């Protein structure tokens, strides 16, 4: 096995965070496209995928187990293998009812087995997030953590692009070749499972073996010792200074994004008569899977460079302001409704998506650094898991309501919806201002 000092972080951080993002993006975002293509309403699809978000919300309840039993490396690799199996199970159990049957209400038994694999994969993915994030903080020193924070977020977002772009494009290409929607998605998810399995196999050999990667309190524990460590991880988290302000930040910083991600692709796919752009699944996948990566990569790298030089406190407000650019991009698209069939339309759509991805890559850097800053301590793995659980809750609840807000409150108008989301950025800016004064000015900055 590899010693940490002999392993270049570039050989495992990109693939680790790409692998971390694939199951999350598929379950919570790509499934939104899958379900709507099967005939579900946006309201129902947002609600069902919202329920599948639950494991990421409640993961702190078993997160301490990753800290106190076995190593982070063991948990990371084991969960990757389980996720590959779970995605394969979804691929072979997706239902195949007709569109009319789905619109009238899918029988419980049609989705029951597939949903079981969805739930299992979601729980394994949430556990993998806990382990891999803890592994990142243990395998790297604080200087390396700041240097690579932009890289890890960039490759996590690349997984999002691969999911929302590549997987959707594959499904669209299969449908264009004459395959029905359900079997097209079966093969698409199967390809995803195989790909994830290959990445998992790579990590068995590529991940380093940090000397500090040990169970908290030692390997040998009694039941009482495990329970004591388990309770201690929660108690110490809520004893941290300004904990409730930090929780408010984690819940509200991504409020606009939580709503946008649920309806941005349905908006691109929706007919022009209903306010969308009328793009095909293949076109949407191509738009997200090509130029979007450029915006994402540039945003993530610039965010990491800025944070490593000026520190989190200096850059948290500019990064919070940058997050509103994704709303501006979709406000433009929903008002202009460019025709993607024309060259000008393609340029406008792709430019807007590049801008949106850049905003995410740049703005999300501050959020990740703040969670690592707040989680620092003996229980950093479980504390970081608690932080990400609050983040997931902040994504889950607004996301579940996004379809209802758009259809029932805002007159089923994409224009009104994206203006509403832009207004929600006020919450992002306010919480960033509030936490900024409590951040150590030197955190994340290079030592002079």
Q: What is the pLDDT of residue 2?
A: 52
- Which one has a higher pLDDT value, 382 or 394? 394
Q: What is the pLDDT of residue 424?
A: 93
**Angle, CA 289 vertex, CA 288 and CA 291 arms, to 5°:** 75
Please say whether the beta carbons of 330 and 264 come within 8 A. yes
Predicted confidence (pLDDT) at residue 296 exceeds the cutoff of 80 = no
Instruction: Name the domain count of the chain.
Output: 1
Token representation of residue 97: 């009812």
- Which one has a higher pLDDT value, 127 or 396? 127
Residue 446 lies in a domain: no
What is the C-alpha separation between 162 and 199, in angstroms, rounded?
14
Confidence at 164, pLDDT banded by 50, 70, 90: confident
Confidence at 4, pLDDT banded by 50, 70, 90: very low
Predicted confidence (pLDDT) at residue 21 exceeds the cutoff of 70 = yes
Confidence at 252, pLDDT banded by 50, 70, 90: very high
- Domain holding 410: CATH number? 1.20.1250.20
- Cα torsion 299, 305, 306, 311: sign: positive
Across the chain, what does the average pLDDT equal?
83
Name the least confident of 61-65, 175-179, 234-238. 61-65
- Output the pTM of the full model: 0.69
The two beta strands, 2-3 and 208-209, are parallel
> Exposed, middle or buried, 219 (CB in 10 Å: 0-12/13-18/19+)?
exposed
Confidence at 332, pLDDT banded by 50, 70, 90: very high
Residue length of the chain: 448
Residue 15 lies in a domain: yes
Predicted confidence (pLDDT) at residue 222 exceeds the cutoff of 60 = no
Residue 381 lies in a domain: yes
Confidence at 219, pLDDT banded by 50, 70, 90: low
Q: What is the pLDDT of residue 210?
A: 87
Ranked by mean pLDDT, the top range of 10-14, 42-46, 148-152 is: 10-14
Q: Per-residue pLDDT averaged across 324-348, rounded?
A: 89
- Which one has a higher pLDDT value, 101 or 15? 15
In three state form, how does the secondary structure of 82-150 look? HHHHHHHHHHHHCCCCCHHHHHHCCCHHHHHHHHHHHHHHHHHHHHHHHHHHHHHHHHCCHHHHHHHHH
Q: Per-residue pLDDT averaged across 256-268, rounded?
A: 87
Name the least confident of 32-46, 159-173, 223-237, 242-256. 223-237
Q: Per-residue pLDDT averaged across 341-345, rounded?
A: 89
How many CB atoms are located within 10 Å of the residue 343 CB?
A: 9
Confidence at 226, pLDDT banded by 50, 70, 90: low
Ranked by mean pLDDT, the top range of 263-272, 300-309, 329-338, 393-402 is: 329-338
Residue 89 lies in a domain: yes
Which helix (H) or strand (E) is 57 found in, with range? helix 54-58
Residue 81 lies in a domain: yes
Distances (CA, A) of 228 to 45, 64, 68, 365: 41, 11, 10, 34
The range of the structural domain enclosing residue 214 comes to 2-436
Q: Per-residue pLDDT averaged across 379-393, rounded?
A: 82
Q: Per-residue pLDDT averaged across 103-117, rounded?
A: 66
Residue 16 lies in a domain: yes
Please say whether the beta carbons of 95 and 182 come within 8 A. yes
Predicted confidence (pLDDT) at residue 123 exceeds the cutoff of 80 = yes
- Which one has a higher pLDDT value, 286 or 339? 339
Name the least confident of 41-55, 122-136, 390-404. 41-55
Distances (CA, A) of 316 to 149, 383, 441: 14, 21, 11
Q: How many Cα neighbours within 13 Å face the side chain of 60?
A: 22
Residues 6+ away with beta carbon under 8 Å from 49? 27, 28, 29, 31, 32, 35, 262, 399
- Which one has a higher pLDDT value, 217 or 355? 355
Q: What is the pLDDT of residue 425?
A: 92
Residue 442 lies in a domain: no
For tokens 């556990």, name the residue: 127
Residue 441 lies in a domain: no
Q: What is the pLDDT of residue 105?
A: 58
Q: Per-residue pLDDT averaged across 79-96, rounded?
A: 87
Whole-number percent of the chain with pLDDT over 90: 23
Q: Per-residue pLDDT averaged across 413-436, rounded?
A: 93
């Amino acid at each position: 096995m590899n010693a940490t000092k002999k392993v270049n972080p570039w050989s495992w951080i990109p693939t680790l965070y790409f692998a971390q993002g694939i199951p999350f993006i598929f379950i919570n975002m790509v499934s939104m496209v899958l379900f709507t293509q099967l005939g579900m309403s946006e309201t129902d699809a947002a609600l069902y995928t919202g329920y599948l978000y639950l494991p990421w919300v409640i993961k702190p309840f078993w997160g301490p187990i990753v800290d106190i039993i076995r190593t982070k490396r063991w948990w990371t690799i084991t969960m990757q293998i389980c996720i590959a199996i779970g995605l394969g199970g979804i691929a072979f159990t997706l239902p195949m009812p007709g569109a009319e049957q789905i619109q009238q209400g899918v029988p419980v038994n049609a989705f029951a087995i597939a949903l079981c694999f969805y739930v299992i994969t979601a729980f394994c993915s949430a556990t993998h997030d806990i382990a891999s994030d803890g592994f990142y903080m243990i395998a790297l020193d604080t200087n390396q953590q700041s240097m690579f924070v932009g890289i890890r977020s960039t490759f996590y977002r690349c997984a999002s692009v691969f999911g929302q772009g590549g997987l959707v494009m594959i499904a669209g290409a299969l449908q264009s070749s004459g395959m029905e929607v359900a079997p097209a998605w079966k093969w698409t998810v199967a390809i995803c499972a195989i790909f994830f399995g290959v990445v998992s196999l790579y990590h068995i050999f590529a991940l380093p073996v940090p000397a500090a990667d040990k169970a908290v309190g030692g390997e040998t524990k009694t039941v009482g010792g495990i329970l004591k460590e388990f309770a201690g991880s929660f108690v110490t988290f809520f004893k941290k200074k300004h904990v409730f302000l930090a929780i408010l930040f984690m819940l509200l910083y991504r409020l606009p994004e939580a709503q946008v991600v649920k309806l941005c692709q349905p908006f691109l796919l929706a007919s022009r008569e209903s306010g969308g752009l009328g793009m095909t699944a293949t076109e949407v996948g191509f738009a997200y899977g090509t130029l979007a990566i450029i915006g994402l990569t540039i945003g993530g790298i610039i965010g990491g460079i800025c944070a490593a030089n000026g520190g989190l406190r200096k850059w948290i407000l500019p990064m919070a302001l940058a997050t509103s650019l994704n709303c501006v991009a979709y406000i433009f698209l929903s008002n202009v409704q460019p025709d993607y069939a024309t060259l000008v339309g393609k340029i406008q759509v792709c430019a807007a998506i590049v801008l949106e991805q850049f905003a995410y890559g740049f703005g999300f850097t501050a959020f990740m650094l703040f969670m690592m800053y707040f989680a620092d301590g003996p229980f950093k793995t479980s504390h970081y898991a608690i932080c990400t659980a609050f983040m997931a809750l902040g994504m889950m609840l607004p996301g579940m309501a996004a379809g209802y807000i758009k259809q029932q409150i805002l007159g089923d108008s994409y224009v009104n919806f994206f203006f509403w989301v832009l207004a929600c950025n006020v919450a992002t800016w306010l919480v960033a201002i509030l936490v900024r004064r409590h951040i150590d000015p030197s955190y994340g900055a290079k030592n002079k």
